[in-house]
Amino acid sequence: MNPSLLNITPELTASVADKTQAARTLLAEIARDFPPVTFANSLGAEDMVLTDLIVEAKLPIEIFSLDTGRLPLETYDLIAAVDKHYGLKLKIYFPQAEEVEAFVRNHGINGFYDSVTLRKACCHARKVEPLKRALAGKRAWITGLRAQQAATRTGLPLREYDEGNGLEKFNPLADWTEKEVWAYIKQNGVPYNALHEKFYPSIGCAPCTRAISPGEDIRAGRWWWENPESKECGLHVKG
């Protein structure tokens, strides 16, 4: 969806109001019951909604992002915009240099295109390992995942236990629609990635993300050379 084309109807406004209140309540409960808690902000539209809700309520929830080293310029611009708009300096985690160096040395700078196995190895070095460090010592983490985002996320609950990381995981926007996310952003003046205006509904690393065409699935631009069933990076795989 190009956010500029969104038509905010009274029905959409009402549904956003209801879900916003539910998300506020859940976030407050998480902050109260599971300290220390952290929010993984991937700087997508959903994560900007949660950032706005957390900052607005002054909740004691840490907010961090992963800088893979291959993010689009527009994503770095958004990190700066978050600082300017909210006075919030995101806690940034970077990959371990030796892991990235080893991957590039063994498989080439763009080796992730060669197979799903190598792509996931790249994601592990640039995203999964830094996430482990970000979650260390936390009792819970929050994500901006939605059930409608991908075939791999069907039936996504509001709360689940993350066995891989050994802590509770909350998805406050699990039942939100894409239109509800964008209506909140528009109604509340939330900053967002400029690539969304260029038909990038889901944004990851620059070489692994493309714009989509009308009618395509919203995750079609992520790892577009792979089947939908494999389109996860390892951050949200169960088991």
Q: Which structure tokens are listed for 193?
A: 């990635």
| Phi, psi dihedral angles at 216 (to 5 degrees) | -75, 155
d(C-alpha 70, C-alpha 95), whole Å: 11
136 CB-near residues (< 8 Å, 6+ apart): none
Q: Is 122 a catalytic residue?
A: no
Q: Which structure tokens are listed for 133?
A: 């460090």
d(C-alpha 54, C-alpha 59), whole Å: 5
In contact, 180 and 19? CB cutoff 8 Å: yes
Instruction: List the catalytic residue out of 122, 205, 208, 233.
Output: 233
Catalogue the active-site residues: 233
